[in-house]
Amino acid sequence: MTLEGLELAHRRTGAVGLGGAQPAPFADAADVVGWFGGLQSQDYHPAKWALAQRLGPGVTDADLDRAFDDGVILRTHVLRPTWHFVAPADLRWLLELTAPRIHALNTYAYRRGELDGPLLRRTTDLIADAVADGHHLTRTEIAALLARHGITATGFRLGYILIHAELERMVCSGPLRGKQHTYALLEERVPRAASLEREAALAELVGRFFTSHGPATAKDLAWWSSLTRVDIATGLSLAGDALESTDVDGITFWSAPGNARTPAPSPSVRLLQAYDEYIVGYTQSRYLLDLGDLAAVASGKASLPNGVIVVDTQVAGRWRRTVRADTVVLDTVLCRPFDAAETVALHAAADKLGMFLGARAVVSASVL
């Protein structure tokens, strides 16, 4: 475990909004999402917890459901591709930039689903017409709509039909209907805004990634965004003095200037969802999360729950939640024994999750 690696990891926790190093408190969910450009949300409920951890105390699960229903944040396929929370103000220019690349990455999936260009254009038009004027539809209702027009749309095939409609800037998330997600006409959820020229959009997305995830590498950004290496090089060139680089162990890391701020008090224990940006925003430099190979060794000993426990900057265990009436039970599996201060911090983190869910938190801990 190198001091340089730990320094990079400390700087990174601040950039992703998990330490005392973030530039300023975020005003609302759209502010958090806009900071990142997009926040991964394929699992809707855990993704809300990721938002809440960056918004501070007092934010509840119900608050974020309301923000989602009101269109303060949207959920659509825009990067990689997988679902991301996106701020309405950013959705159009992001899709203009990323959709062609994601369509190209989806070529095999479209072919596997026997979805050629004319059929995809037809399904997109049918869906857009059906959800217009606030007639938000669930996935099941869209499948039934397409079936009435003689189009088989189930499972994998339906998923890529809907992704295509999202990438074509025709539909996006609508409000929840009970526990079911709906689709809405993008024109009715996203205000019109001036388009960004492609180079300006590249500079914006590259800048946002390295500001919100840095220190990080160009390969990390390629994974996160699906942009090509040429596009990333162009974006870095255009960013100019807005970004700075440092070389560690022969790897170039990019970040916003001056993001080496004071880390959160130690020990800081965080209960991160498995797809938190601190976990999934990196490929080449993901090793900074586990500089001592502690989690890598532990994962070979037992099957671990999906959530990630981070102590200061390093992965130290896994967790899983079970909600029972007014109680949330956290089953935790630690990669190493926690000392007294870390145990207190773990229970404090559990209490924060309990407050978010409106439930009393109970922690069950075991050590591999």
Domains and CATH numbers, the chain: 22-189 (1.10.10.10), 198-255 (1.10.10), 269-367 (no CATH)
pTM: 0.94
Other beta carbons less than 10 A from residue 168's beta carbon: 18
Answer whether the bond into residue 267 is a cis peptide, omega within 30°.
yes
What is the chain's pLDDT, residue by residue, as a tens digit (368 residues)? 577 989 999 999 999 999 754 445 799 999 999 999 999 999 999 999 999 999 988 999 999 999 999 999 999 999 988 999 999 999 999 999 999 999 999 999 999 999 999 999 999 999 999 999 999 999 999 999 999 999 999 999 999 999 999 999 999 999 999 999 999 999 999 988 888 999 999 999 999 999 999 999 999 999 999 999 999 999 999 999 999 999 998 999 999 997 655 566 789 999 999 999 999 999 999 999 987 777 666 666 656 577 999 999 999 999 999 999 899 999 999 999 999 999 999 999 999 999 999 999 999 999 98
Q: Which residues contact 341 (CB under 8 A, 6 or more apart)?
A: 267
Rg of the chain over Cα atoms, rounded to whole angstroms, equals 21
Under 8 Å between Cβ of 368 and 318:
no
Largest CA distance in the chain: 64
Bridge partners of 216? 254
Other beta carbons less than 10 A from residue 24's beta carbon: 6
Q: Where are the beta strands (DSSP E) in the chain?
A: 39-40, 74-79, 82-86, 137-138, 171-173, 182-185, 244-248, 251-255, 269-272, 307-311, 314-324, 327-334, 360-367
CA pair distance 69, 59, nearest whole angstrom: 16
CA pair distance 89, 269, nearest whole angstrom: 33
